[in-house]
């Protein structure tokens, strides 16, 4: 009789463990599915969702184009300024070298 009672107790413990883990898995699945659904709804219909962003796309693309043009202009100006700076530095080096040699003649 003791073994029959032990078998019943073991069976109940296993059954309780199975139900416990089944419940945990179900809760996790529900939370995960709710999170995915909520993310999908927010992505698609929120204030910053895809629906609202699609209407702003031409405006944003225009701003991006203007920004790219500004970057190109600034890079061009930088090239010009760098070239002028190099010219000035070379002229200063020539003047310094010429002033050093001409100081003995005075």
How many domains, in total, are found in the chain?
A: 1
Asked if residue 102 is part of any domain, the answer here is: no
Asked if residue 1 is part of any domain, the answer here is: yes
Q: Which residues of the chain have pLDDT under 50?
A: 103-106
pTM above 0.75, yes or no: no
**Sign of the C-alpha dihedral, residues 14, 16, 21, 22?**
positive
Question: What's the CA gap between 72 and 69, in Å, rounded?
Answer: 5
**Are 51 and 45 in contact, with CB atoms under 8 Å apart?**
yes
Asked if residue 29 is part of any domain, the answer here is: yes
Domain span at residue 4 reads: 1-45
Distance of CA 2 to the CA centre of its chain: 65
* pLDDT tens-digit map of 39-68: 887 777 767 777 778 888 899 899 999 999
Asked if residue 38 is part of any domain, the answer here is: yes
Asked if residue 30 is part of any domain, the answer here is: yes
């Amino acid at each position: 009789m003791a073994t029959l009672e032990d078998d019943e107790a073991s069976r109940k413990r296993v059954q309780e463990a199975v139900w416990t883990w089944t419940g945990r898995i179900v809760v996790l699945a529900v939370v995960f599915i709710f999170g995915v659904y909520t993310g999908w709804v927010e992505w698609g219909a929120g204030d910053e969702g895809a629906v609202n962003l699609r209407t702003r796309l031409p405006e944003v693309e225009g701003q991006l184009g203007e920004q790219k043009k500004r970057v190109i202009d600034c890079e061009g100006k930088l090239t010009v300024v760098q070239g002028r700076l190099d010219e000035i530095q070379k002229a200063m080096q020539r003047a310094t070298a010429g002033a050093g040699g001409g100081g003995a003649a005075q």
